[in-house]
Structure 1
């Protein structure tokens, strides 16, 4: 007799997703970071055990510390007393037809699921046709619809060409999916909403947005030739030593416009899907900073203050001062300023290199809370219990409740900071005690940067630090939410 059940299904080779195929054609596969009860391998719309079909959101076999539900994690001996009566009772009257749940209850459940997490909503729609028809199809809405954004998912760095793993920073769940659009597009950056900014076309001028979890239709934006001046069009070439990066980009507060930022060129672009041209906004900045889209508004740091992009119907877009700095930021390459979203609070991290009397040097990280109402910065010695993974271009705030191996009120550095892999070899800075933690890495010249400095297997801290590490080539940009 042929082997059946979950054990046989786990050895079945996943079917590759055909081009153009979406999640609606597939059934879900639960993430391996959760212990799934036996009924997860059945079709909820019938009482007959089914083997799960490969899903667009596949289980990710990666070592990520997560919290396991104790009622699901334990194994029990199968006896007549603990068997599922719906599967073993021959009385058909005990069967439930979940497909006929009704559009009202099923639609209400779908709304609750979507409010919690878009990945669960994708799995809900993939269960069966009746459930799929009772809830909203993401493909009928543009990529700017905030209801379907994967806000709490982090895209981990991968060596594979098109496969990507995503880590939920709230639950620790990890999933893997193939993004076939990367065959014809280059990654330019990621928005705080979790959308990937892509470049398309032989000349690499067409800008598109993609939701990696819902696989909504690509949203077209105006070409970059209408944003960059003619003398900068050569920056679009893939072999440039300093390629364009779109960190600090995102969706504006009006939910209909996109802000595209090239901070290294001090150029902003504002456009809506379907527009022919970008509205160009220029600003001056001589310091090394990381801009940020926070609550739908663009912020960046200059030598003396924090600037805010103001948009209104009766005036053209412009940069205005949102807060003044008490201490100017140095334009030296050893110093930098980083705007970060720390669990809903706007903060500024001032990274400096101080010279002591004994001619030694010490790296310091001063943290300020930005008070937008008073336009001032308040020095703080805590992150509210959060952990901050800070990169030179982007940052990520993580709750330590989901990852016990991570320390709260601590700044973890990415691998594009010189002090992380050279000089002091600083891995983290604990703010309350102003103490640092060192980590030594052996450089391996046989592998590309930054994998040459990271041992395998990676720790969780390494994985999250790699998320914020930006390489020289835009084809291998590390992406983060």
Structure 2
């Protein structure tokens, strides 16, 4: 109980500090954030009637003129194979439109690749000290420089938020449990105990940044989620952990947090049990979710994401896809939210553990279910840290 109260109290304090930091800049006006995206970002462009294909660059803004322009920000793009192992030619997929895009990104050779975000950005570090951070948009080629030095840790998660007049970069360091919050010309660093850090990491990586931090009922929501953990007799130090739980372990309950179309979802996976809650961040209430309609959600110990199943025919709607780990292997399972049926996706083992990674062992070409599952359970090491180790 003491651990649960400690997590709740410290998380509440962190939310208050984060909200104050975010409030230092004015929130963008809704009208400024509701411009149309170009076709390369997953939707059709809206051009003036006089514009033609030959002079479209004259009729539209250049995305490199303002790297924070909402029209040119990636929306629901993820990077399936990354620069850490595959050179500079990458595969991106849009989880909303189902579009696949191969991209050659030679700029990555000029920086250390630290991590990628759920929205499709790269977080890079300068090759020369103090290794300042830089956010790279792979769809436009634009970059946003920051003064914050990237910590030389092996596992760094991150996010970039454009809810405010200045972009807000968040870096989370798994070894030291440090949290970096940075605007282009300033930053602050906070140390956290493991359980509180784990909660913050789950929230940030799940897209719960920006406006969520200032929500009136967020602290109450945290308390209710931890109440569910107590009812399941979950270990409070492991409930938000990124360590993969072992199949059959008595304390393997995990909580996954994510922004789902503007709603906060808490997906709690226990022994033979998955519960999906929608959290009202204004009044601090939880309610069971019985349907996510035409979507499916992939959860993993590192990341979780939602996909539009209308655009991915092989993925079943209203289901949660997850992996079960047993020793050095892992298999993909599927949970139907409506009928609560649980079944394996394939008869064979899907992953074999190699060092810290879970490598797909199926025959190529891999299915989209295998690729998205791999994305949820694998996070690559920071090139900066690896360079300093060697």
* TM-score, length basis structure 2: 0.69
The answer to which structure, 1 or 2, has the higher relative contact order (CA under 8 A, 6+ apart) is 2
Question: Once the 2 structures are TM-superposed, how far is the Cα of residue 433 of structure 1 from its aligned partner?
Answer: 2.5
Residue aligning to 1:343: 261
Please say if 1:327 is aligned against 2:228: yes
Question: Once the 2 structures are TM-superposed, how far is the Cα of residue 345 of structure 1 from its aligned partner?
Answer: 2.0
Please say if 1:134 is aligned against 2:134: no
* Offset from partner CA, 1:345-391 (integer Å, 9 cap, x none): 210111223xxxxxxxxx32221111112112222233234100112
**What's the secondary structure of 1:165's corresponding residue?**
strand
CA pair 262-174 structure 1, distance change in 2 beyond 3 A: same
**What's the secondary structure of 1:389's corresponding residue?**
strand
**What RMSD in Å do the two structures reach over aligned CA positions?**
3.8
Question: Once the 2 structures are TM-superposed, how far is the Cα of residue 138 of structure 1 from its aligned partner?
Answer: 0.9
Residue aligning to 1:292: 204
Residue aligning to 1:271: 182
The answer to whether the 8 Å contact 2:293/2:318 transfers is: yes
Question: Once the 2 structures are TM-superposed, how far is the Cα of residue 121 of structure 1 from its aligned partner?
Answer: 7.0
The correspondence for 1:309, drawn from 210, 213, 218, is 213
The answer to whether the 8 Å contact 2:259/2:265 transfers is: yes
The answer to whether the 8 Å contact 1:267/1:280 transfers is: yes
Question: Once the 2 structures are TM-superposed, how far is the Cα of residue 464 of structure 1 from its aligned partner?
Answer: 1.6
* Offset from partner CA, 1:294-342 (integer Å, 9 cap, x none): 777359xxxxxxxx6349xxxxxxx972512232352246332111122
**What's the secondary structure of 2:37's corresponding residue?**
helix
* Offset from partner CA, 1:65-84 (integer Å, 9 cap, x none): xxxxxxxxxxxxxxxxxxxx
Question: Once the 2 structures are TM-superposed, how far is the Cα of residue 133 of structure 1 from its aligned partner?
Answer: 1.3
Please say if 1:429 is aligned against 2:339: no
The answer to whether the 8 Å contact 2:309/2:316 transfers is: yes
* TM-score, length basis structure 1: 0.57
Question: Once the 2 structures are TM-superposed, how far is the Cα of residue 222 of structure 1 from its aligned partner?
Answer: 1.9
Alignment of 1:214-293 (within 5 A): 214-216=140-142, 218-224=143-149, 236=152, 243-247=154-158, 249-262=159-172, 264=174, 265-273=176-184, 275=185, 277-286=186-195, 288-289=198-199, 290-292=202-204
The structure where helix makes up a greater share of residues is 2
The structure where strand makes up a greater share of residues is 2
Residue aligning to 2:104: 178
* Offset from partner CA, 1:201-222 (integer Å, 9 cap, x none): 2457321001101111x21112
Structure ID, larger Rg:
1
Separation of aligned partners in 1, 2:364 and 2:144 = 37
The answer to whether the 8 Å contact 1:413/1:465 transfers is: yes
> Structure 1: 5+ residue runs without aligned partners?
1-110, 226-232, 238-242, 300-307, 312-318, 354-362, 477-481
